[in-house]
């Protein structure tokens, strides 16, 4: 196998991991989502107020499970940007769903940096518009 074909296989495997995590998100299954992450995952949401940074799967699970109590949504990948390192992907995606307490529609646009180790996500830094989320929560 050539280096290029090995890199392509690694990227495809990693993208499948993200798609599987996104399927768990659509099901509202935080544990299912986190089954695609390493135990020492770093999960960053720098645009939340306050910014969130989890350094273990257990911390990430607590944050994600809390979010799933009020939001239900599906994520649709719109672009995948390959990096020099096949264990890193930058992915653009749209989120659509609802804010459960009021059933208000929710839609946002995201971009995230994913890093992988042994086919699992070991790092995720996710950017989205927090004003959009705040408006849905505030009911405006």
> Nearest-CA neighbor of 75 among 132, 42, 123, 33?
33
Query: 50: cis peptide before it, omega within 30°?
Result: yes
Q: What is the pLDDT of residues 63-111, one digit of tens each?
A: 999 999 999 999 999 999 999 999 999 999 999 999 999 999 999 999 9
Cβ atoms < 10 Å from Cβ of 86: 19
* Residue 95 pLDDT: 97
Q: Judge whether residue 58 has pLDDT over 80.
A: yes
Range of the domain at 63: 3-138
* Whether 77 contacts 22, CB under 8 Å: yes
Measure the CA angle with vertex 84, ends 80 and 90; round to 5°.
Answer: 25
* CA geometry: angle 111, 27, 127, nearest 5 deg: 15
pTM, to two decimals: 0.95
- The CATH number that applies at residue 88 is 3.10.450.50
Beta bridge partners of 93: 77, 110
Evaluate if residue 140 carries a pLDDT over 90: no
Give 15-38 pLDDT, tens digit per residue: 999 999 999 999 999 999 999 999
The rounded distance, in Å, linking the Cα atoms of 33 and 57 is 10
> Is-contact 71 100, C-beta < 8 A?
yes
Number of domains in the chain: 1
Residue 89, SS3?
strand
């Amino acid at each position: 196998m050539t280096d290029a074909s090995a890199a392509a296989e690694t990227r495809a495997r990693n993208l499948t991991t993200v798609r599987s995590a996104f399927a768990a998100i659509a099901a509202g299954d935080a544990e299912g989502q986190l089954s695609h992450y390493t135990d020492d995952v770093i999960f960053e949401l720098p645009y939340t107020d306050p910014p969130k940074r989890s350094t273990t799967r257990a911390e990430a699970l607590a944050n994600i499970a809390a979010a799933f109590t009020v939001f239900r949504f599906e994520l649709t990948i719109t672009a995948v940007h390959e990096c020099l390192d096949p264990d890193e992907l930058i992915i653009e995606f749209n989120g659509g769903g609802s804010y459960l307490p009021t059933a208000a529609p929710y839609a946002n646009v995201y971009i995230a940096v994913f890093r992988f180790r042994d086919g699992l996500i070991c790092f995720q830094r996710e950017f989205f518009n927090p004003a959009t989320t705040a408006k849905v929560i505030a009911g405006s």
